[in-house]
Amino acid sequence: MKSHGPKLEVDEQARHHFSAFVDAFVSQQLGERWVTLFDAARSASWRKIDPWSLWDTPHQRAGARYEEVQDDVRSLLSSTVMRVGKDAPVVIFHLGHSKPAIHRIALHQITPQDWPLEGLVSIVPGSRAVVVNHDGGILLCTPRGA
């Protein structure tokens, strides 16, 4: 069997955030692929998780809301969108074109340097997340009616 680099460390909290994101915001077909790639916990697999695909409606989960944010990262970080609780822990997944990694940080401590080139920031598992594409696009994901 071919090796695809060392295993990445994925704890239960990170797995929960990622699974809740996929269940809430990603179409079933794409979601199954992403979970398989995520569970492989290899850099080569995580590079195949393409957050930019959520800009295409067929890949979005029916019933969820997607709002393209025009602010830059610094403005977004200081906006009310990101104010869930200043000490709320968030999980940042660096995927796709980013160097694969997981970071945990208190919401109020995030800086633009923590922001992934491509990936997702899970703020409240399955309820509030920010998707970032490698072109600088930012997509806010929330449940319908939130």
Find the farthest-apart pair of alpha carbons in the chain and give their distance in angstroms, rounded: 48
Instruction: Please state, in angstroms and rounded to a whole number, the distance separating the CA atoms of residues 117 and 98.
Output: 5
Q: Tens digits of per-residue pLDDT, 14-27?
A: 999 999 999 999 99
Q: Which run of H or E residues covers position 93?
A: strand 89-94
Q: So where are the chain's domains?
A: 12-143
Phi then psi for residue 133, to 5 deg, are -105, 165
Angle, CA of 9, 44 and 1, to the nearest 5°? 90
Q: Tens digits of per-residue pLDDT, 20-61?
A: 999 999 999 999 999 999 999 999 999 999 999 999 999 999
pTM tops 0.95: no
Query: How far does the chain reach from its first CA to its final CA, in angstroms?
Result: 46
Q: Tens digits of per-residue pLDDT, 58-108?
A: 999 999 999 888 877 667 766 666 666 667 788 999 999 899 999 999 887
Residue with tokens 């179409």: 27
Which residues is 6 bridged to in the sheet? none
